[in-house]
Amino acid sequence: MYSEWAHPVGGVTVWSRTDGGGEYRVLPDGCMDLIWHDGTLLVAGPDTAAHAAHDRPGASYAGLRFAPGAGPGLLGVPAREMRDLRVPLADLWPGARARQLAERAGDDPVAVLEQWVSRRTREVGPADPLPRRVAGALAAGRTVAEVAGRTGLGERQLRRRCEAAFGYGPKTLARILRLQRALELARAGTPFADVAAEAGYADQPHLSREVRALAGVPLGELVRR
């Protein structure tokens, strides 16, 4: 069973899951997560392709999902250093600090994580607005050149800023955000040919190739799951 809801802190989603066991696939979405599982806190970095995993029946998780660009400032680590990784929080923070948060989370991980992100947001102050602007423009189908022009950055500088905020450059982020848009449309019952057109693919074969490249399985299988 899975549930999620928006946290009052913008760009943060709280989620919990009790696993039925077996294999599952986490698709790239540009996000980072702070995850509590079996008394341990892990940071899941931004993925460039689907992350396949296997779990036992009844496994319990709680987490915070940080929208593209929101995680590095709160977690204190550049996204590029976490790309395609799952790392214990104790490897990123001073060990005692990470252990204390994990121990407090043992009784009610969701409540403790919600409290932590509220407190942490006050500590770090206002977030850099650039990542949200970039992600929003790319999700709307703007080209990298257009985004660079809108932000006043050269393309090389934009790439460096994107790698720190998102874990990869703007072209990769645009592909991932387009995949998420395609999945949203397909799961709503939109015919795949229309999905391709509405999500910004050249045609349906292009959609199929991109889904396989990023998700590892055909679009139809993702929708059935």
Whole-structure pTM value: 0.93
pLDDT at position 98 is 92
Residue limits of CATH 1.10.10.60 in the chain: 130-224
Q: In the β-sheet with 86-88, what is the strand arrangement from edge to edge?
A: 2-6, 12-18, 60-66, 32-37, 40-44, 86-88
| Nearest alpha-carbon partner for 59 in 100, 16, 25 | 16
The per-residue pLDDT for 118 is 97
pLDDT given for residue 19 in this prediction: 75
Q: Which CATH number is correct for 130-224, 2.170.120.12, 3.40.50.300, 1.10.10.60, 3.40.50.2300?
A: 1.10.10.60
Tokens of 144: 């990298």
The predicted structure's pLDDT at residue 12: 97
Q: What is the pLDDT of residue 212?
A: 97
pLDDT of residue 70: 96
pLDDT for the residue 22:
78
Positive or negative CA dihedral for 58, 59, 60, 61?
negative
Q: Tell me the CA distances in angstroms from 180 to 42, 160, 162, one per residue in order.
A: 24, 23, 19
Q: H helices then E strands: how many in the chain?
A: 10, 8
H or E segment to which residue 60 belongs: strand 60-66
The set of residues, in sequence order, having a beta carbon less than 8 Å from that of 6 and lying 6+ positions away, is 12, 13, 14
- pLDDT tens, the chain, 225 aa long: 889 999 999 999 999 998 766 788 899 999 999 999 988 999 999 999 999 888 888 889 999 999 999 999 999 999 999 999 999 999 999 989 999 999 999 889 999 999 999 999 999 999 899 999 999 999 999 999 999 999 999 999 999 999 999 999 999 999 999 999 999 999 999 999 999 999 999 999 999 999 999 999 999 999 987
Q: Could you give phi then psi for residue 188, rounded to 5 degrees? A: -85, 0
Q: What is the pLDDT of residue 59?
A: 85
- What is the per-residue pLDDT for 81? 96
> How many other CB atoms sit within 10 Å of the CB of residue 165?
26
